[in-house]
């Protein structure tokens, strides 16, 4: 069985592109590791994630940097040859489902308030 469930936050704004007629979204996700008795600081992993279709659209629209999410997906490994003709392997999380797991994060890229004239300060 290949199933991954992660609880964490988006590291940057998800980037949505169109491939053919389908949307694809790539992003990095921060997932805290459990603290151990020996650990003095919190550690985290930062897996690369990819989502397709409606899930990609959802993440691109509603999950800016810092959004706490619960992701469900599969581990996907791709073999390729780099520019120097060396064989490489990339492992990513292919996200199948994403749900909010915390309060809404204000999108800093949203339009600025145009009611400055009404501000009493």
Give tens-digit pLDDT for 60-99.
999 999 999 999 999 999 999 999 999 999 999 999 999 9
Has residue 121 got a pLDDT over 70? no
Reference 50, options 103, 90, 105; nearest CA is 90
CB atoms within 10 A of CB 57: 14
**Under a CB-based contact definition with an 8 Å cutoff, are residues 59 and 68 in contact?**
no
**Under a CB-based contact definition with an 8 Å cutoff, are residues 17 and 33 in contact?**
no
Q: Which residues contact 106 (CB under 8 A, 6 or more apart)?
A: none
pLDDT band at 41 (very low <50, low <70, confident <90, very high): confident
C-alpha–C-alpha distance, residues 42 and 32, integer Å: 7
Residue 36's pLDDT is what?
Answer: 78
């Amino acid at each position: 069985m290949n199933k991954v469930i992660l609880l964490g936050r988006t590291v940057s704004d998800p980037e949505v592109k169109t491939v053919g007629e389908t949307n694809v979204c790539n992003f990095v996700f921060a997932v805290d590791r459990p603290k151990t008795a020996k650990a003095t600081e919190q550690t985290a992993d930062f897996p690369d994630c990819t989502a397709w279709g409606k899930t990609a659209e959802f993440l691109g629209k509603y999950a800016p940097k810092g959004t706490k999410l619960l992701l469900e997906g599969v581990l996907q490994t791709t073999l390729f040859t780099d520019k120097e003709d060396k064989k490489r392997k990339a492992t990513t999380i292919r996200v199948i489902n994403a749900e909010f797991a915390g309060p809404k994060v204000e999108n800093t890229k949203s339009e600025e308030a145009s009611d400055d004239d009404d501000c009493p300060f």
